Amino acid sequence: MTVQAQNIDAITAGAVPHEEAELTDGFHLVIDALKLNGIETIYNVPGIPITDLGRLAQAEGLRVVSFRHEQNAGNAAAIAGFLTKKPGICLTVSAPGFLNGLTALANATTNCFPMILISGSSEREIVDLQQGDYEEMDQLAIAKPLCKAAFRVLHAADIGIGVARAIRAAVSGRPGGVYLDLPAKLFSQVIDADLGARSLVKVIDPAPAQIPAPASVARALDLLKGAERPLIILGKGAAYAQADEAVRALVEESGIPYVPMSMAKGLLPDTHPLSAGAARSTALKDSDVVVLVGARLNWLLSHGKGKTWGEPGSKRFIQIDIEPREMDSNVEIAAPLVGDIGSCVEALLEGIRKDWKGAPENWLQTIRTKREANIAKMAPKLMKNTSPMCFHSALGALRTVIKERPDAILVNEGANTLDLARGIIDMYQPRKRLDVGTWGVMGIGMGFAVAAAVETGKPVLAVEGDSAFGFSGMEVETICRYDLPVCIVIFNNNGIYRGTDTDPTGRDPGTTVFVKDSRYDRMMEAFGGVGVNVTTPDDLKRAVDAAMDSGKPTLINAVIDPAAGSESGNIGSLNPQSTLKKKK
């Protein structure tokens, strides 16, 4: 972990040194600091000035996964943080590479994924005078507004404390993205090895439990025990917390129906008798007391108001969140519980076990009736075996795949592909569904798929819209290069939303249309993976089973009716449409 060199002072003085001094440098100190804190994997795109950092990290036992684009490497690091509760590390070059990674960093912060973006940068004295250094940019100033914290290290002796601060900031309290700026000159700085070793910091208890106040717990229990139609909403924060047994106990011992947000699916199986996912609209509209566990009342929950939530004033909310400022963000929170999810859920459980009478049976029957009706209504759509496929029939086949392979990880993005899969594909285990999250961004697919395979060793099924795949599709080469057990299914309907739009002038293709009948499967074949083209749900099921059984990188081009799909999927109301006719 060190380098050997002649005694520098002796050489400078012209004297012959009596002995060699053991030295270390910035490269090795960064690696040592990460390893000391249990970091095992780096996701990166090599280049100036961090190429050797990646090489040396690999030589020192860290796994270094190199991508084709920094945004995808950043997305991989972000979801690695979600899966492991340790900050995922993304390493990028300066300026443009940093900016590419910054999109993933901002998305990680919004989604509360612990991640550290480490970027090489230009020299401070040149940047500050704007003298035109190679890829000159004040990266720290740009990063600060878009992440939880940002730090710059200028001296090798401060690398240990810089890495420690970044780790603690990423995982403590509400997790998020952190930027760590390392100027090029830092890497070659040489210091005494013993001094370097003593400068490293092992972060102790980086995310300590935060116990809710007893009065807050009592207030929440009083409200909950007076409820006639209680409901629990599980958010991805509940999945991140890894308090799985406590969350299950809260639902089962209280007998309260629950609705999981998409990345919380599987905390309890979607087939659980208390799951109200298939009766979501009824559950939200008719409930009277709602317990939010790691979920936020943002746009994904209609901000806690409007017709989604029934009559104004008909709801009272209990909210569990580690961030006090989240309370009352859109509506009044009657009983805020500030603390970590595990501690808050355990506190509620203790109170429920004393004198809880259970959720009223008539409310449970209302949820059951609506759920069963919706499932029955959906069933015929999922069983069709037509060609070309529609979204429902294709997802029906994949629904069976996940049911038979509950340990597999599902990555999902797109418009219709995402929206419909959320409701159709049941999940059975926690942290097995990874999708676009809070921002609803496209392009997370391949980065998430790579990290899911690397971090868990489990088979990955990535279900992609053809538009969403285009944002990160070149990473199929990365998947093949590392021989990862990833099966990608592209729902190919020849366009964004659908493939039937036209240019009224007749000059160009419609703005949402792709090349007709594209063969994405041949991309995977070009890099040595397996490519398959399918046109029916039965063929799709057989192809996915073969891929998951083999563990070989596979891409399945699933031909979907070009007319299938709705504008913007289920959030078309957010996409403004002009109602004016073209002026003559």
User: If you write DSSP's letter for every residue of 378-433 in order, what string do you get?
Assistant: HHHHHT---SSB-HHHHHHHHHHHHHH-TTSEEEEESSHHHHHHHHHS---STT-E
Q: How far is CA 153 from the centre of its chain?
A: 28
- CA nearest neighbour of 73 among 454, 430, 435: 454
Q: Kindly indicate the confidence band of residue 568, based on its pLDDT and cuts at 50, 70 and 90.
A: confident
Q: How confident is the model at residue 555 (pLDDT cuts 50, 70, 90)?
A: very high
Predicted local distance difference test score (pLDDT) of residue 315: 96
Tens of pLDDT, residue by residue over 186-195, are: 999 999 999 9
Beta-carbon contacts of residue 517 (< 8 Å; ≥ 6 apart): 494, 559
pLDDT value at 5 more than 90 = no
Task: Assign 265 to helix, strand or coil.
Answer: coil
Mean pLDDT in residue range 411-438: 96
Residue 9 φ then ψ, to 5°: -60, -40
- Looking at residue 572, the DSSP 8-state letter turns out to be G
Confidence class of residue 4 from pLDDT cuts 50, 70 and 90? Answer: very low
* pLDDT tens-digit map of 82-134: 999 999 999 999 999 999 999 999 999 999 999 999 999 988 888 888 888 88
The 3-class SS string of 128-142 reads: HCCCCCCCCCCHHHH
pLDDT of residue 16: 42
Region 330-337 average pLDDT: 97
Indicate whether 46 pLDDT > 90: yes
Torsion-angle region of residue 313: left (phi > 0), alpha (psi -120 to 50) or beta? left
Please tell me the distance from the alpha carbon of residue 227 to that of residue 248, in angstroms, as a whole number: 20
Instruction: State the average pLDDT over residues 437-443.
Output: 93
The three-point CA angle 333-335-340 to 5° equals: 100
Amino acid 8: pLDDT: 40
The identity of residue 374, as a single letter, is N
- With a pLDDT cut of 70, the percent of the chain lying above it is 96
Q: What is the pTM of this model?
A: 0.94
Token match 């612990």: residue?
Answer: 114
Span 53-57, average pLDDT: 97
Query: CA-based angle 524:529:533, to the nearest 5?
Result: 55
Closest CA to 81 of 90, 72, 91, 68: 90
**pLDDT tens-digit series, residues 230-242:** 999 999 999 999 9
Q: Average pLDDT in the 341-355 region?
A: 95
449-480 pLDDT, tens per residue?
A: 999 999 999 999 999 999 999 999 999 999 99
Task: Say if residue 433 is exposed, middle or buried (CB neighbours under 10 Å; 0-12, 13-18, 19+).
Answer: buried
Which amino acid is located at 200 in the chain?
A: L
Across the chain, what does the average pLDDT equal?
Answer: 94
| Confidence band, pLDDT 50/70/90 cuts, at residue 52 | very high
Cβ within 8 Å of residue 176, ≥6 positions away: 108, 109, 112, 113, 114, 115, 147, 148, 149, 169, 170
Per-residue pLDDT of 160-216, as tens digits, reads: 999 999 999 999 999 999 999 999 999 999 999 999 999 999 999 999 999 999 999
pLDDT at residue 358, rounded to an integer: 87
The pLDDT value recorded for residue 581 is 62
Residue 7 confidence class, pLDDT cut points 50, 70, 90: very low
Q: What is the SS3 assignment for 170-208? A: HHCCCCCEEEEEEEHHHHHCEEEHHHHHHHCCCCCCCCC
Q: Per residue in 262-283, is it b (16+ CB within 10 Å) or e — as a string?
A: bbbbbbbbbebebbbbbbbebb
pLDDT tens per residue, range 213-231: 999 999 999 999 999 999 9
